[in-house]
Amino acid sequence: MKIYLIGMPGSGKTTLGREVAAHLAMEFVDLDEKIEAREQKSIPEIFSQHGEPYFRQVESALLHEWAASAKSFVMATGGGAPCFFDGIQAINATGISIFLDESIDELVKRTEKKSGRPLLQTADETELRNRLTTIRQNRLPVYQKASVVLQKADLQAVLKALRM
């Protein structure tokens, strides 16, 4: 079984993914960590040295490799992974996708003091809110193709959704 958690930066994919994987005794995969390991650079370094298009190509290649593997896992995708190079198609063809649909207010709270998110680099909360809103609007049509959509997701909500 492959379980993919998708959603905006700050939606809880990594935190919840670790919990779900531990509960189900499955491997946890953080796609961003896999990208950093392959490139031997942090995501901000990749963005600054090679740009977003290069990052998206690496992200897509790794997503497709994992999707094609015979392994079972719980994956926290990067926020954009489903949205580029047919990512959502690869995800839905090989596993269960769960869209963690958090409010903009919650996303702002969770991301405003964190560095390492190249698309969200700003010192101003209003600008962060505007960026998150724009990104969400652009990605929502893809996110809504998920097998399951959860608001205010927690371990129990994910486990209940998996029993469907």
Binding residues for Mg(2+): 14
Report the binding-site residues for substrate. 32, 56, 79, 139
Cβ proximity of 11 and 100 under 8 Å: yes
Q: How far apart are the C-alpha atoms of 47 and 78, rounded to whole Å?
A: 14
Residue in 48, 162, 39 with CA at minimum distance from that of residue 98: 162
Q: How far apart are the C-alpha atoms of 64 and 135, rounded to whole Å?
A: 23
Report the binding-site residues. 10-15, 32, 56, 79, 117, 139
Cβ proximity of 108 and 128 under 8 Å: yes
| R_g over Cα of the chain | 15
First CA to last CA distance, the chain: 14
Please report, for residues 35, 42, 120, 121, the alpha-carbon distance to residue 71 in angstroms, rounded to integers and kept in the order given. 18, 26, 32, 35
Report the binding-site residues for ATP. 10-15, 117
3-state secondary structure of 78: coil
